[in-house]
Amino acid sequence: MTTQGQNAEELRLIANGVPALLSYIDGGARYVWCNESYNRAFGYSNEQIRGKHIREVLGVAGWESVRPHVTRALSGESVTFENQVRIKDGSLYEGHISFVPHRDAGGCVRGVVVLVNDLTARKAAERALRKSEQMLERSQSTAHVGSWEVDLIGAGATRPGGVKWSAETFRIFGYTPGALELDGATFLERIHPEDRDQVRATIARFTETAEPYENEYRIVRPDGTVRMLHSWVNSEKDATGRPVRVIGTCQDITERKRAEQELRDADRRKDEFLAMLSHELRNPLAPILTAVEIIEQAGPAEGELRATYQAVIARQVLHMKRLLDDLLDVARVSQGKIQLRRERVELATLLSQAIEVSRPLLLDKGHALEVASASEPLPIEADSTRIVQVFANLLNNAAKFTDAGGHITLTSRAVGNQAEVSVRDDGTGMSPDFLARAFDLFVQATRSFDSAQGGLGIGLTMVRTLVRMHGGQVEALSEGPGRGSEFIVRLPLLTGAPAPLAAAPPAARAVATTPLEVLVVDDNVDAARALEQVLVLAGHRVARAHDGPGALASAAARPPQLVLLDIGLPGMDGYAVAAKLRAAGHHRATLVAVTGYGQDEDLRRSSAAGFDRHLVKPIDGATLREILAAVSDRLGPGQTPPRT
């Protein structure tokens, strides 16, 4: 073999041993020769591929993607580019391609040497890395967690000590991602001045120890807003243990901190409320017990003394009942279970009723009440009872927090399409901090245990909720402690043609009832006996039981016309007793649930069990007399038992 032949064979062996794809094409873009790597990729032998046009091997799409580069190479230009082509197994082959013109001795281009380096794995890795980075960025953005790093050597950073932030870190600090060049000073500039020394000291300790740490601090964004961040910081070390990179994350925890503070405040208010509730419920017990002792010791001729202290007991029990009613009301309001009974009413009428409700407290503290009523009518569509409750609460609040002999002003007027009512006092006033929380549940400005300033801190919450339910707004104003307070309520006025205003509810009429057969069921023996005695004194025939079986047996012996039935009985509860009474044929008897449970679910259950009415303990005398009269009227003459 000649030396030239030996050289050609050596070149062929070398070319076939190269993993890159090598080929040679002539001036017509047809293959002259390919190495084995090229042949394997496209599935041809040298004999099969020789003379084929590039289009026949790469396909139409592949040829169109390389044709501009082939044209340039055949014109004498060396060309490099990246491209994708479909190979024998159907996969995409990504390569870095070089077209090198081959010239003859005269300098004319005779063909092109093609070199293709496989980029498939590298490109796949780059795509996987980009996808991972995008997923990380999305995860950080979703979780509002940013990351950052400081290269202590300089690799991967613009300079040694340079800082690299993730896009979410830029956003956390109030910047558009990549908006500015970063360094340590940039970070420290954004730290809240009050936290800057603490952050510097923490960084200094980390510089000495390189031990991971967590830290919380505030930042001030460029727009002036303050946010609280939590950072986790660690270092990456080389084989010698020397830190080469600092990595960290930061998370905006402002909302979490605010929620934690609100929970602490709510927990504190709960404890204060329980203490106040205990005080408010225990407070009436002292005069009640004292009054009972005085009545027991009073002689037969001291009727006036007994009457005085009976009135004390009645007032204190009524006070306790109002506290419990307030608790029930606020529970129903907070759950959105209050249903308004709206009607067209004149606001001045409701304000007068609210004044009457609050008059005892105003008189007790010697306050002067000035009323400045609107000169024109103020018609509104409202639940009269609830609007009276709103303004009675505001007047009571003003009376409680104004020293004896104070001045309270109630003003009403029309402002545009709204009725505006102001309740102003010259009392204790409110601090700015309290003013912001005045309508929150269980909040009181002062934790005084003076009974004149008692209450459960739920009145203003009720006011705000009821006013909003009527489509209005309420606002609290005060110039500060000791300078009085003002509450302004705005309610929408009715417009259009006037309609008849709702008539005031008729006054309760005195009722006389014929004797009834009554069954009283309560496991509290004292309560049952007391109710029995009230009914006997009113001329009714009463049977008493203290559990379910006893009630059923009594009803079987003497069929009742009215059953006053406690729900919370031992063993068989009142719901079950009511159902069994109906099943036993007592369909004409009026069943009244008497219970300490008064939620909507309790009313629904009592109705489903067959009760006609649902009363929450304690029952007041007027309600009991109204029920007795209603039962008597329903039964009619000749339906009541003879008196014995």
Structural domain total, the chain: 5
- pLDDT for 506 equals 47
Q: What is the CATH number of the domain that holds 591?
A: 3.40.50.2300
Label residue 541 by pLDDT band (50, 70, 90).
Answer: very high
Distance CA 524, CA 538 (A): 21
Q: Is there a domain that residue 64 lies in?
A: yes
Question: Who has greater pLDDT, 93 or 582?
Answer: 582
- Residue 129 — very low, low, confident or very high, per pLDDT cuts 50/70/90? low
Nearest C-alpha neighbor of 377 from the set 411, 422, 347, 351: 347
Minimum mean pLDDT among 88-97, 414-423, 427-436: which range?
88-97
Residues 413, 550 within the same domain: no
Quick: pLDDT tens for 240-282.
Answer: 877 888 888 888 889 888 988 888 877 877 776 676 666 667 7
The pLDDT tens digits for 453-470 are: 445 557 788 888 889 999
pTM tops 0.75, yes or no:
no
Going from the C-alpha of 12 to that of each of 40, 104, 447, 527, 594, the distances in angstroms are 16, 20, 100, 115, 108
pLDDT in tens, 290-318: 888 888 888 888 888 888 888 888 877 87
Query: Residue 472 and residue 494: Cα distance in Å, rounded?
Result: 13
Query: Does some domain include residue 502?
Result: no
Residues 353 and 483 in one domain: yes
Select, from the ranges 488-502, 509-523, 599-613, the one with the highest average predicted confidence (pLDDT). 599-613
Tokens of 574: 């009142």
pLDDT of residue 622: 79
Residue 102 and residue 199 in one domain = no
**CB burial readout 621-644, b (16+ within 10 A) else e:** eeebbbbbbbbbeebeeeebeeee
Predicted confidence (pLDDT) at residue 387 exceeds the cutoff of 50 = yes
Same domain, 547 and 452: no
Q: Which of 118, 146, 178 is the last residue of a domain?
A: 118
> What percent of the chain shows pLDDT beyond 90?
26
Q: State which of 118, 153, 180 marks the end of a domain.
A: 118
Residue 511 lies in a domain: no
- Would the pLDDT of 131 be above 60? yes
Supply the pLDDT for residue 410.
Answer: 95
The mean pLDDT of 24-49, rounded to a whole number, is 86
* Among 395, 440, 415, 396, residue whose Cα is nearest residue 491: 415
- Find out whether 459 and 396 touch, Cβ atoms under 8 Å: yes
Q: How confident is the model at residue 106 (pLDDT cuts 50, 70, 90)?
A: confident
With 70 as the cut, is the pLDDT of residue 195 above it? Answer: yes
Q: Three-state SS string across 27-55, please?
A: CCCEEEEECHHHHHHHCCCHHHHCCCEHH
What is the band of 447 on the pLDDT scale with cuts at 50, 70, 90?
very low
Mean pLDDT within 195-209: 86
Pick the range with the lowest mean pLDDT from 72-76, 100-104, 496-500, 535-539: 496-500
Whether residues 348 and 223 share a domain: the answer is no
Residue 146: count other Cβ atoms within 10 Å of its Cβ.
24
Q: Is 304 exposed, middle or buried (0-12, 13-18, 19+ CB in 10 A)?
A: exposed
* Cα→Cα distances 299→243, 289, 307, 314, 514, Å: 95, 18, 12, 21, 34
Q: Looking at the structure, do residues 441 and 348 belong to the same domain, yes or no?
A: yes
pLDDT at 345: 94
CATH of the domain at 418: 3.30.565.10
Alpha carbons 268 and 283: distance in angstroms, whole number = 22
pLDDT at 157: 39
The 3 state secondary structure assigned to 337-365 is CCCCCCEEEEHHHHHHHHHHHHHHHHHHC
Query: Are the C-beta atoms of residues 455 and 444 closer than 8 Å to each other?
Result: yes
Asked whether the predicted pLDDT for residue 133 surpasses 80, the reply is: no
Is 72 within a domain?
yes
Residues 542 and 617 reside in one and the same domain: yes
Q: Are 150 and 229 members of one domain? A: yes
Q: Domain range holding 324?
A: 283-334
Tell me the mean pLDDT in the region 479-503. 79
Unique residue bearing structure tokens 């009244």: 592
Provide mean pLDDT across the span 358-382. Answer: 90
Q: Residue 640 falls within a domain, yes or no?
A: no
Task: Please indicate, yes or no, if residue 17 is contained in any of the structural domains.
Answer: yes
Is 223 within the bounds of a domain? yes
Please state, in angstroms and as integers, the Cα–Cα distance from residue 1 to each residue in 6, 9, 11, 17, following that order: 6, 10, 15, 22
Q: Give the Å distances, CA to CA, from 43 to 34, 38, 57, 366.
A: 11, 8, 9, 109
- Residue 642 belongs to some domain of the structure: no
Same-domain check for residues 369 and 487: yes
pLDDT for 485 equals 92
Burial annotation 250-288 (CB, 10 A radius, 16+ → b, else e) = bbbbbeeeeeeeeeeeeeebeeebeebeeebeebbeeeb
Q: Both 107 and 162 in a single domain? A: no
The strand pairing partners of 84, in sequence order, are 94
pLDDT at 638 over 60: no
CA 49 to chain centre: 72
**CATH number of residue 157's parent domain:** 3.30.450.20
386 and 367 within one domain: yes
Question: How much is the pLDDT for 510?
Answer: 44
Using the predicted structure, report yes or no on whether residue 609 has a pLDDT greater than 60: yes
d(CA 373, CA 350): 12
Token pair 């027991």 is found at 296
Closest by CA to 346, choosing from 310, 370, 305, 374, is: 374
Return d(Cα 234, Cα 213) in angstroms, integer: 7
Q: Does one domain contain both 155 and 207?
A: yes
DSSP per-residue codes, 529-564: HHHHHHHHHTT-EEEEESSHHHHHHHHHHS--SEEE
Contact 426, 386 (CB under 8 A): no
Residue 496 pLDDT class (50, 70, 90 cuts)? low
